[in-house]
Amino acid sequence: MLMTQTKNPPIRKAILVFSGGQDSTTCLIQALEQYDEVHAMTFNYGQRHAHEIDVARRLAQKLGATSHKVMDVGLLNELAISALTRDSIPVSTELMDNGLPNTFVPGRNILFLTLAGIYAYQLGAEAVITGVCETDYSGYPDCRHDFVRALESALVQGMDRPLKLVTPLMWLNKAETWALADKYGKLALVRDETLTCYNGIEGRGCGECPACKLRQHGLDEYLSNKAIIQQQLTQKSRTE
């Protein structure tokens, strides 16, 4: 009698664009439950809050990422003038003449996702995960669903290999993003150990910059309506 050998299922690998902030840390927490290997990538582009690189290193190790690569992309700082790349430009709550906040770094997600896609090609990863969001975002055009799908198509065509750009937070508001962290039992970690603040202050941040205000508003909303927001999160998960 011939014995048939059963093949082991392929190892599921993902690359995660990781800043150490609330959104990308929540994505890492979820990805570690969904993939066999999660390789985090952090980009050093001379950002205003460079401490995020140290935070990303610590969290990637603490949460158990398979690997963590920090890429030097300082050329972006030379080309993109923004409040996040120039200490001399104060973060403003007012929109610029083009309708965008002055924290917008043009081309940032184009560059980051392209480099992550190249890394995915080398590692044989099936997905690149990013925490961009169109529901509760700062008005950045490179956080929109249409942009992500267009770049995904370009990467697939340009490298002639299947690749998915995965955006777990795309249709979640900030309260639902907090609910997602809580679902995996990591709300306190995300609240206390991530860095979202434009002024580089960990945890609750400065409380004054647009990123801190959006984050705190979402947390307050979630803590006031936990059951309802968890239900909303479940419903959205089922429709994806």
Cite the annotated binding site for Zn(2+) by residue number: 197, 206, 209, 212
Helix (H) or strand (E) holding 233: helix 226-239
In sequence order, which residues have a C-beta less than 8 Å from that of residue 184 and are 6 or more positions away? Answer: 29, 30, 33
Strand partners, 44: 72
With 0-12 CB in 10 A as exposed, 13-18 as middle and 19+ as buried, what is 184? middle
Question: Which whole-number Å values give the CA distances from 91 to 40, 41, 59, 94, 209, in the listed order?
Answer: 28, 26, 26, 9, 7
Residue that is written with structure tokens 């599921």 in the block: 12
Instruction: Give the residue numbers of the binding site for ATP.
Output: 18-28
Element (H, E) at 232: helix 226-239
Annotated binding site: 18-28, 197, 206, 209, 212
The two three-digit tokens of residue 97, written as one number: 């003449």
Report H helices in 100-225. 108-123, 145-159, 174-183, 187-193, 210-224
